[in-house]
Chains A and B, each alone.
Chain A
């Protein structure tokens, strides 16, 4: 097969799988808690900076994982308690508040690290022969990790029963508390899971992108489009969204140019928001 086509095909796979993982944190928080966390991209940024700090201290790259979990977990807990919890019944206010949070987090990153670009060295450098073409090793590993993460989610999630259970408990806290379940901790825990997933996404992509305080904005936008198109509340929704958004962007960019890819993503998202706001896989 023409190596160009093979490479572009792997590019599409890479785009879709990383998009799925990066949107995961947002999906958890938006789908289960109904909260639009505009600061999602900043948690990705935090993960990337944690990766940088890990590497510059000479620790093995995998040490970034527990480090990021600690930072994003604690931060998520603080944010949930201080900002999200008081605003559960005011959806627009959470949107605006999380946006203020994203501003704040950006500024804090700026204060600590400055505005310059940081580079995180690729932990697995080099390319490998893959289906007749040379492809970067690290990216292939990321594809594998993304697939594994999503697969394990499908198994654990069990379709959407756990999700609806969580959602039901959060929307009917009296009933849940009557059954002895602490809704407070469940909601906080869900939020923390979302922020930690975002942070881990940051650790994954840090070696591949410029690490700087403004990097988060792209991720939150793309993640939103994925969720809008794919639908909330189910893993299959997340996947279909990632396939559509990531796939279209990648294929059109490969076939024509990057501007058309970006336009296509925007227009697609608008069309879905308009015609099929529940997304491809609409779950109640």
Chain B
């Protein structure tokens, strides 16, 4: 094959010209617009990656809160501007975004709804320079400086629900199954304690590798032969869906109850009506939560977003309370000074999607709902008011 290319071809030049023109316009795209006197909130949500199915809801709920607050005068007279930023990728990407938001956008506060690995990385990068409100569901223990947690804690999720399982449903032997990382392991630590407190027994404790292509036939068979009364599930995402469908497929749902700790509307939709019998969940918010506040929240949400509104659920609604927490905190502290915020955080009260909560020790006590699954909808069967977080920070 003889090639006669002696130099750049015409195609190369055309391509180079096009590329040059494109790159020339880039700085215009990237440089952020000049800011007015707005209160900027860096909103870390999942815009990419496996958790990105929550992204639209997270953004929508945060926008609803911001709009409501802005109508009422904003935070200390400043209108809120949300800056949604991706936290669904590797933590290094999120920390980079945090630095950009602090340096270039000069954000006043962060609200974050993402996994703990990202949270820990962000805490290390933000270094308390800016207040940081963490909102979803987590394993407890976050007491870093200038960090405020409205997330559901293991104590809140597990204590009332496990007690109910064992007393009201008569479950004695519990099988623990979860993904192998910190949240499930911490939850199971709490579970051991509460199961023992209620006179029960942990039949077995098993973990599947996180991020691996898992299938559950073998595990379900093992559970079947272990004959527990209930299964406490700390699997997440696709693993949660897969496990529950396999479990029901093998017919175990007839005799064995399941309590899944990160089961919200999207996951339930994936599990499907044919696999959701005898399945329970316990979180601080559901779309069908019976409280007056929840009904109003849903109405306002539907009014704002209409028919195309992203599916409501705990992961998403947590951003609503995050923004309101920011307002309460900053209003009481009179600004975003770190020391003042830390001092002011004790005792602030603010609305969440399910009702008002109060902050103690930079965590919140919450009303928890125990839901059963009817088809692909939740039906709340028990309300536990004012459950302590159990993770109050000392200072």
Q: Which of A157-165, A194-202, A209-217 contacts B (4 or more CB under 8 A)?
A: A209-217
Select from chain A the residue with minimum beta-carbon distance to B275. Answer: A119
- Quick check: is A141 within 8 A (CB to CB) of the other chain? no
- Quick check: is B221 within 8 A (CB to CB) of the other chain? yes
- Quick check: is A15 within 8 A (CB to CB) of the other chain? yes
Select from chain A the residue with minimum beta-carbon distance to B206. Answer: A257
- Quick check: is B266 within 8 A (CB to CB) of the other chain? yes
> Are B270 and A11 in contact, with the CB atoms below 8 A?
no
In the complex, chain A residues 111-154 whose Cβ is within 8 Å of any chain B Cβ? 114-122, 125-127, 134-136, 138-139
- How would you classify the secondary structure of chain A's contact residues: helix, strand, loop or mixed? helix
In the complex, chain A residues 244-284 whose Cβ is within 8 Å of any chain B Cβ? 250, 253-254, 257-259, 261-262
- Quick check: is B96 within 8 A (CB to CB) of the other chain? no
> Are A210 and B53 in contact, with the CB atoms below 8 A?
no
Q: How far is the CA of A14 from the CA of B218 in the complex (A)?
A: 11
> Which single member of B180, B221, B272 contacts A11 (CB below 8 Å)?
B221
> Are A119 and B250 in contact, with the CB atoms below 8 A?
no
- Quick check: is A40 within 8 A (CB to CB) of the other chain? no
- Quick check: is B167 within 8 A (CB to CB) of the other chain? no
- Whether A218 touches B213, Cβ cut-off 8 Å, given contacts A116-B311, A253-B218, A259-B208, is yes
Kindly list chain A residues whose C-beta atoms are within 8 Å of the C-beta of B214. Answer: 258, 262
Q: Which of B10-18, B67-75, B240-248 contacts A (4 or more CB under 8 A)?
A: B240-248
A204-235 CB mask vs B (1 if < 8 Å, else 0) is: 00001111101101110110000000000000
Kindly list chain B residues whose C-beta atoms are within 8 Å of the C-beta of A254. Answer: 218, 221-222
- Quick check: is A3 within 8 A (CB to CB) of the other chain? yes
Binding site for B on A (CB under 8 A): 3-4, 7-8, 11, 14-15, 114-122, 125-127, 134-136, 138-139, 208-212, 214-215, 217-219, 221-222, 250, 253-254, 257-259, 261-262
Q: List 26 A-B contacts (CB under 8 A).
A: A8-B218, A11-B221, A14-B217, A114-B53, A115-B53, A117-B53, A117-B241, A117-B266, A117-B270, A118-B269, A119-B275, A127-B251, A134-B250, A134-B251, A138-B249, A208-B249, A210-B242, A210-B270, A211-B270, A219-B213, A250-B217, A257-B207, A258-B206, A259-B212, A262-B209, A262-B213
Not counting A136-B249, A211-B270, A258-B209, a sample of 15 additional A-B residue pairs whose C-beta atoms are within 8 angstroms of each other reads A115-B55, A116-B53, A117-B53, A117-B266, A118-B269, A119-B273, A119-B275, A134-B250, A136-B250, A209-B242, A209-B245, A250-B217, A259-B180, A259-B212, A262-B212
Binding site for A on B (CB under 8 A): 50, 52-53, 55, 180, 206-209, 212-219, 221-222, 224-225, 238, 241-242, 245-246, 249-251, 266-267, 269-275, 311, 376
